[in-house]
Structure 1
Amino acid sequence: MYNDPRSHGLWEKTAPPPPQTSALEGDVTTDVVIVGGGFTGLSAALHLAERGIKCIVLEGKEIGFGGAGRNVGLINGGMWVMPKQLPNVLGPVYGDRLLDLLGNAPFLVREIIEKHEIACELEKNGTLHCAVGEAGLTEIRERCDQWAARGAPVRILSAEETARRIGTSGYMGALLDERAGTLQPLAYVRGLANAALKAGAIIHTASPVHATEANGEGWTVRTDRGSVSAGWIIVATEAYSQGPWKIIREEQVYLPYFNFATRPLGDNLAKSVLPGREGCWDTKEILSSFRMDKAGRLVFGSVGALRNTGASVHRAWAKRALKRLFPQLGDVEFECEWYGQIGMTDNAVPRFHRFAKNVVGFCGYNGRGIAPGTTFGKTLAAHVAGEISESDLPLPVSEPKAQSFRALKEAYYEAGAQVAHFAGERF
Structure 2
Amino acid sequence: MVMALRAACKPRISGGVALPDHAPVSLWDVTALESAPGAQDTAPEPRVDLAIVGGGITGLSTALHAAQAGLSVQVIEAGRLGEGGSGRNVGLVNAGVWMPPAAVRAALGQDRGERFLDLFGDAPRAVFDLIERHQIRCAATRTGTIHAAHAPRAMADLRGRHDAWEARGAPVTLLDAAEVSRLTGSRAFHGGLVDARAGTINPMAYCRGLARAARGAGAAITTGCRVTGLRHDGGAWQVDTPRGPVAARDVVLATNAYTDTLWPGLADSLVPLRFVQVATEPLGTAGADILPDGQGLWDTGRVMRALRRDAEGRLILGTMGRLHGDADAGLTRRWAMRQIGRLYPDLPPVRIESAWDGVIAMTPDHLPRIHQLADGLYTPIGYNGRGITTGTVFGAAMARLLTGGDPDDLPLPLGSPATAPRGRLTARLLDAALSAHQALRAL
Letter in 2 for 1:423: L
Matched length:
424
Provide the rounded CA distance (Å) in 2 between the counterparts of 1:130 and 1:50: 39
Is there any run of 5+ residues in structure 2 with no aligned partner, and where? 1-8, 17-24
Letter in 2 for 1:10: L
Match of 2:350 among 312, 328, 332: 332
| SS of the residue 2:101 aligns to | coil
Provide the residue aligned with 1:394 in structure 2: 411
Match of 2:308 among 262, 285, 291: 291
Match of 1:98 among 104, 116, 133: 116
Deviation sequence 1:184-212 (CA, Å, 0-9, x none): 11111011111101111100011221212
Task: Say whether the 8 Å CA contact 2:253–2:378 is kept in structure 1.
Answer: yes
Task: Say whether the 8 Å CA contact 2:322–2:431 is kept in structure 1.
Answer: yes
Provide the residue aligned with 1:18 in structure 2: 36
> Alpha carbons of 1:261 and 1:400: their partners in 2 closer, same or farther (altered >3 Å)?
same
Detail structure 1 runs of 4+ shifted over 3 Å in the superposition.
Answer: 307-311
Match of 2:140 among 107, 119, 122: 122
Provide the rounded CA distance (Å) in 2 between the counterparts of 1:344 and 1:225: 33
Deviation of 1:330 after TM superposition, in Å, equals: 2.6
Task: Say whether the 8 Å CA contact 1:24–1:207 is kept in structure 2.
Answer: no
Provide the residue aligned with 2:272 in structure 1: 254
Provide the rounded CA distance (Å) in 1 between the counterparts of 2:266 and 2:132: 32
Task: Say whether the 8 Å CA contact 2:145–2:199 is kept in structure 1.
Answer: yes
Provide the residue aligned with 1:279 in structure 2: 296
| SS of the residue 2:135 aligns to | coil
Task: Say whether the 8 Å CA contact 2:13–2:356 is kept in structure 1.
Answer: yes
| SS of the residue 1:30 aligns to | strand
> Alpha carbons of 1:248 and 1:179: their partners in 2 closer, same or farther (altered >3 Å)?
farther
> Alpha carbons of 1:425 and 1:230: their partners in 2 closer, same or farther (altered >3 Å)?
closer
| SS of the residue 2:120 aligns to | helix
| SS of the residue 1:245 aligns to | coil
Provide the residue aligned with 2:54 in structure 1: 36
Task: Say whether the 8 Å CA contact 2:287–2:347 is kept in structure 1.
Answer: no
Provide the rounded CA distance (Å) in 2 between the counterparts of 1:237 and 1:419: 29
Is there any run of 5+ residues in structure 1 with no aligned partner, and where? none
Match of 2:176 among 158, 161, 169: 158
Deviation sequence 1:264-286 (CA, Å, 0-9, x none): 0122x232111111000111100
The alignment-based identity, stated in percent, is 39
| SS of the residue 1:244 aligns to | coil
Provide the residue aligned with 2:21 in structure 1: none
Q: Which moved more, 1:109-118 or 1:391-400?
A: 391-400
Provide the rounded CA distance (Å) in 2 between the counterparts of 1:18 and 1:425: 36
Provide the rounded CA distance (Å) in 2 between the counterparts of 1:37 and 1:376: 14
Task: Say whether the 8 Å CA contact 1:68–1:369 is kept in structure 2.
Answer: yes
Provide the rounded CA distance (Å) in 2 between the counterparts of 1:294 and 1:333: 17
Provide the rounded CA distance (Å) in 2 between the counterparts of 1:17 and 1:411: 37
Deviation sequence 1:200-238 (CA, Å, 0-9, x none): 110001122121222444211111121111111112111
TM-score of the aligned structures, taking structure 1 as reference length: 0.95
Provide the rounded CA distance (Å) in 1 between the counterparts of 2:293 and 2:156: 25
Deviation sequence 1:68-127 (CA, Å, 0-9, x none): 010111001111111111121122232122111111110010000011011111010000
Task: Say whether the 8 Å CA contact 2:93–2:199 is kept in structure 1.
Answer: yes
Provide the residue aligned with 1:237 in structure 2: 255
Provide the rounded CA distance (Å) in 1 between the counterparts of 2:311 and 2:45: 43
RMSD, aligned α-carbons: 1.9
Provide the rounded CA distance (Å) in 2 between the counterparts of 1:11 and 1:96: 35
